[in-house]
Chain A
Amino acid sequence: MSDVEVFSTLNEELERLAAKSKARAIAVAVHDLETGFRFSLLGDRWFHAASTIKVAMLLAIFRAVDEGRLQLDDSLHVRNRFFSVADGSLFHLSPDRDATPELYQTVGRTAKISALAHAMISGSSNLATNLLLDFVGVEYARKVLRDAEVHEVELRRGVEDHAAHERGINNEATANGLVTLLSAIRGDFLTDESKQEVIRILLEQRFNSMIPARLPAHAAVAHKTGEISTACHDVGIVYLPERQPYIAVILTEFEPDRNGRRETVAAISEVIYRSVVGRDPNPNAS
């Protein structure tokens, strides 16, 4: 199939899925590193980034490592106390709203930066994210994104900063921006050592009910999910042994707490696979 045909087929399938899901909005961006094929549906629409912003944080942490600002073996004081970027007010995170509550057991002690980076991604730890952001600083993280020419990912604050949220200060991203971010991770922005470590961390993602869910078992996905009441996202790099990887970004917006959101993202991922790779991911499935 030509790129035009792939584009057209993908577009049609996604529109069908979007209509069926009753999503408020679905944005998809794809970059196939095997063929150079690119696809974007609502790729410039801004979404609340939810936990996908943690990929931007990961890039900032490893850039700081490459610049000698910190070392992965460094220890950081684990403290559940943060200040809002909106008004400097103090806030605490709730373990009940964090996917990695066990990290709260280390409050008062120290944790390695490498362990926090891992927890931030594989376990989507809000506490690890805020600790790392508090340490490197929002301005530094934003500078890293600018230096990497990632212009459509806006990192403005830590997680659960409600005072900032009430004032409309949120982390936001477009699907195209997140493809650029993942491309920066794969490119030469980081040293080879850091790049490999970042991808290894993303590959160890514990939440696999979206992009990887309907892909063949031999697919390895370096990815990060993001969910809040109205948003359900997954962004990642899909590795297949027989070909170069492809980058897939799926951002969705729904009415609050609507069911079937993850299934929609998984179905979109399957459609992307079929279009990019050219075959059914699970041909023997009934």
Chain B
Amino acid sequence: MRVEVLRAIDGLDLPEEYRAFLRPGETETDSSRNVHRLPRFFYEVRSWPEAQELRLAPHFTLAELMLVDCREARPLLSQFPHYVPCAIIILARLLEDFRHEVGAPVFIAANGGYRSPAHQIEGAKSIHAWGTAANIYRIGDTFLCDTKSIEKHRTIAASLSPAVFVRPFGREKGQTSDHLHIDLGYVRLTPRECSEAS
């Protein structure tokens, strides 16, 4: 199944139940006190099988980038349709490039792709709420859980684009010790057929 089958929707048109969790277009302040606007446009995902079938890139399905655990807001966890920010297709492209560079399958952790602003892990303060970040816990047979494996792949990921940020290995805030965090910043994507008026 190809990405063209996804229907882009304006989050502001969603029912209140969803808007309360997704907060389309609202602002959020990060830990550096920078203000960012949350995604407004989303792809509608009608079922989990659809997410499993839909390839955003040759080696990445949508399901891999939206797998969350029960810390996600209940309606976004247990009922469909789901909504994912449109920028997730750019993330998938980045991951595909990364996979090509490392030459091995890349595994995204649960809660490691898109998480809604209502997710209990950091919520809207996390860049994962933009759908532009991925936590990679394994590459091929290598679990990324030590300095060597994380720093090696960090260098590769950072070489892909100046827009790519990768957290360093470490046990302090802003560092990682059991996965590789890679993100593209607070990118928001407006599909051609959507209007930002209003």
Per-residue 0/1 for A73-114: is the Cβ within 8 Å of any B Cβ (1 yes, 0 no)? 011111111000000011010000000000000011110010
In the assembly, what is the distance between CA of A92 and CA of B171, in Å? Answer: 11
Contact present for B70 and A74 (CB under 8 Å)? yes
Q: List, in ascending order, chain A residues with CB within 8 A of B190's CB.
A: none
- Asked if residues A110 and B178 are in contact (CB atoms below 8 Å), the reply is no
**Residues of the A chain whose Cβ atoms lie less than 8 Å from the Cβ of B110:** 75, 77-78, 108-110
CB of B128 within 8 A of chain A?
A: no
B188 within 8 A of A: no
**Are the C-beta atoms of B171 and A77 separated by less than 8 Å?**
no
Main secondary structure of the interface of A (DSSP, over half): loop
The distance in angstroms between the C-alpha atoms of A76 and B178, with both chains bound, is 16
* B171–A110 CB distance below 8 A: no
Residues of chain B lying within 8 A (CB to CB) of residue A81: 177-178
Measured in the bound complex, the distance between the Cα atoms of B109 and A113 in whole Å is 17
CB A137 to nearest CB in B, in angstroms, measures 12
Q: How large is the interface on B (under 10, 10 to 19, 20 to 34, 35 or more residues)?
A: 10 to 19
A80-B70 in contact (CB<8A)? no
| Residue in chain B with minimal CB distance to A78 | B110
User: Could you tell me the distance between the alpha carbons of A92 and B176 in the complex, rounded to whole angstroms?
Assistant: 13
Interface class of chain B by DSSP: loop
The answer to whether the Cβ of A213 comes within 8 Å of any Cβ in the partner chain is no
Alpha-carbon distance between A110 and B137 when the two chains are bound, in angstroms: 13
Alpha-carbon distance A174/B44, docked complex (angstroms): 55
Question: What CA separation (Å) do A79 and B177 show in the bound complex?
Answer: 11
Closest-by-CB residue of B relative to A110 is: B110
CA–CA, A276 and B177, complex, Å: 53
Return chain A residues, CB-CB under 8 Å to B143.
107-108
Chain B: minimal CB distance from A107 (Å): 7
Measured between C-beta atoms, what is the minimum distance from B180 to chain A in Å? 11
Q: How many whole Å from B179's CB to the nearest CB in chain A?
A: 8
Q: Is B43 an interface residue (CB 8 A)?
A: no
Question: How many A residues, CB 8 Å from partner?
Answer: 18
Chain A CB within 8 A of B138 CB: yes
- Determine the distance from Cα of A81 to Cα of B143 in the docked complex, in whole angstroms: 13
**A134-162 toward B: CB 8 Å interface, digit per residue (1/0)?**
00000000000000000000000000000
List B85-144 residues whose CB lies under 8 Å from chain A. 107, 109-112, 137-138, 143
CB pair A92–B70 under 8 Å, yes or no, is no
Contact (Cβ within 8 A) B70 A76: yes
Task: Please tell me which one of the listed residues A70, A80, A113 contacts residue B178 in the complex, with CB atoms under 8 A apart.
Answer: A80
Q: Contact at A92–B145, with CB atoms within 8 Å? A: yes
Chain B residues with CB below 8 A from A75, complex form = 69-70, 110
When C-beta atoms are compared, the residue in chain B nearest to A83 turns out to be B171
Distance between B152 CB and nearest chain A CB, rounded to angstroms: 18
Q: Does A71 contact B (CB under 8 A)?
A: yes
Residue among A80, A89, A90, A110 making CB contact with B69, cutoff 8 Å? A110
- A77-B111 contact given A108-B137, A108-B138, A110-B69, CB 8 Å threshold: yes
Pick 25 A–B contacts, CB within 8 A, sort by A.
A74-B69, A74-B70, A75-B69, A75-B110, A76-B69, A77-B109, A77-B110, A77-B111, A79-B109, A80-B145, A89-B171, A90-B177, A92-B145, A92-B177, A92-B178, A107-B137, A107-B143, A107-B178, A108-B107, A108-B109, A108-B112, A108-B138, A108-B179, A110-B69, A110-B110
Q: A70-B70, A81-B177, A108-B112 are in contact. List 17 more A-B contacts (CB 8 A).
A: A74-B69, A75-B69, A75-B70, A75-B110, A77-B71, A77-B111, A80-B178, A90-B171, A90-B177, A92-B145, A107-B137, A107-B178, A108-B109, A108-B110, A108-B137, A110-B67, A110-B110
A-B pairs, 8 with minimum CB distance:
A108-B137, A74-B70, A77-B110, A77-B69, A90-B171, A110-B110, A108-B109, A81-B178
